[in-house]
Amino acid sequence: MIRWLNIFRGFLMGIVELVPGISSGTLALLLGIYDELLISIQKLFTKDFKKAAGFVFPLIIGMAIAILSMSSIINYFLVNHTIIIHWFFLGLVFGVIPMMFKLGNYKYEFKWIHYILIFLTIIGMYVLNNVKSEVQEVMQVDTSFSALLFLFIAGFIGSMALVLPGLSGSVILLILGAYPIVIYAISEFTSFNFEVLPILFATGFGIMFGIIFASKFIHYLLTHYTYLTYAFIIGLLLGSSFPIFHGFPTNGLQWVLSVILFLFGLGLSYSVSRRNNKETI
C-alpha cells in the first residue's frame, strides 16, 4: 500500500534539508514518522519490501520534488531575508524539544548521565559549527574516479546526518567541502546540463548506503539504549541552534518579523509534534 501522504511529508523534509543547519530527521520527528521511517528503511531488503517501499519511496519522491523545485526559492529567502527566515527555523527546532523530553520519560528515566550527555552533545555541535568551511563558488566539476569516490564517501557520511534529528546533512557536506559541488551539480542538472550526472549518481549512491547503515545503527541504539539515545537526540536538537542562528535583527521591523516568525514556528512545531506523537506521549 502506497502512503501517498508521504509525498507531501517528503516535500517538507526536502525543503528543510536545503537549509544548512536543519535536519530532515527533525521534521520526521515533528511529523511523527521517525520510528516508522527507520524500520521501513531496514525492511527494504526483506520480505516486507512492498510495505516498506510504499512508505519510503513516496518520501523520496517528495524530497526530490522539493530539492529540484524549491532550491531557488529557498536560496532567495536565505540570501535576502537571512535573519528572519532562520529565526523561524529556530522556532521549529525548539518546538520539538518538549515532545522529545516526554518521549524520553525524563521525569523518571533521566539521571545525571543523561544530562551530561545532553551537555556534551551541545558542546560537540558548537565545535562542529565552528570548524565548518566557507561556501566557495564552483564553476565546473571534476568527474574523475577519485573525485567521485570522495563524493560517494561524503554522501555516505552526510546521509547519516539526514537520519539523525538535529544534525544537518548540509552542514556535514559543507565541512567536508562537498556542499558547493553538490549544489552546483543540482543547479546545472535543472538547467539540463547532463554532464553533472556522475556527480549526482556518486553522491546519491553514497547517501543511499549511508541511510541504510545509519537507520540500522540508530534503531539498535533506540532499542537497547533508549533513554541515552533520546538524551543524545535532545542534545543534537539544542546544539543545532548554533548553525541555524545567523545573528540578531538589525532594525525594528526585522525584530518584529523575526519574533513573530519564531513564535509561529515554535507554536506550529510544538502543536504538530504533540498531535502526531500523541500515541506515544
Q: Judge whether residue 193 has pLDDT over 90.
A: no
Q: Judge whether residue 281 has pLDDT over 60.
A: no
Whole-number percent of the chain with pLDDT over 90: 25
Residue that wins the pLDDT comparison between 236 and 24: 236
Place of cell 537520519: 163
Q: H helices then E strands: how many in the chain?
A: 14, 0
Average pLDDT for 9-22: 79
How far, CA to CA in Å, does 11 sit from each of 8, 154, 176, 246?
Answer: 5, 23, 26, 25
Which amino acid would we find at residue 115? Y
The x, y and z cell numbers of residue 181, run together, are: 559541488
The pLDDT assigned to 72 comes to 76
Residue that wins the pLDDT comparison between 131 and 32: 32
Residue (of 162, 124, 153) closest to 34 by Cα position: 162
pLDDT in tens, 219-244: 888 889 999 999 998 998 898 888 78
Residue 132 binned pLDDT confidence (cut-offs 50, 70, 90): low
What 3-state class would DSSP assign to 6? Answer: helix
Average pLDDT for 256-278: 85
What 3-state class would DSSP assign to 142? Answer: coil
Q: What value does the mean pLDDT of the chain take?
A: 84
Q: Judge whether residue 44 has pLDDT over 70.
A: yes
Task: Please say whether the beta carbons of 64 and 70 come within 8 A.
Answer: no
The x, y and z cell numbers of residue 268, run together, are: 506550529
The x, y and z cell numbers of residue 27, run together, are: 521534521
The pLDDT assigned to 138 comes to 65
How far, CA to CA in Å, does 114 sit from each of 102, 224, 227, 266?
Answer: 14, 15, 8, 25
Q: Judge whether residue 136 has pLDDT over 60.
A: no
Lowest mean pLDDT, pick from 173-182, 206-215, 245-254: 173-182
Output the DSSP codes for 49-102.
HHHHHHHHHHHHHHHHHHHHHHHHHHHHHHHHSHHHHHHHHHHHHHHHHHHHHH
The pLDDT assigned to 196 comes to 86
The pLDDT assigned to 30 comes to 79
What ranges do the domains of the chain cover?
A: 5-276
Q: Judge whether residue 135 has pLDDT over 60.
A: no
Residue 78 binned pLDDT confidence (cut-offs 50, 70, 90): confident
Q: What is the CB neighbour count within 10 angstroms for residue 38?
A: 22
Average pLDDT for 211-225: 87
Q: State the angle between helix axes of 169-176 and 179-190 in degrees (0 to 180), rounded to the nearest 10.
A: 110
pTM across the whole model: 0.75
Q: Judge whether residue 139 has pLDDT over 80.
A: no
The x, y and z cell numbers of residue 81, run together, are: 531575508
pLDDT in tens, 263-272: 998 998 888 8
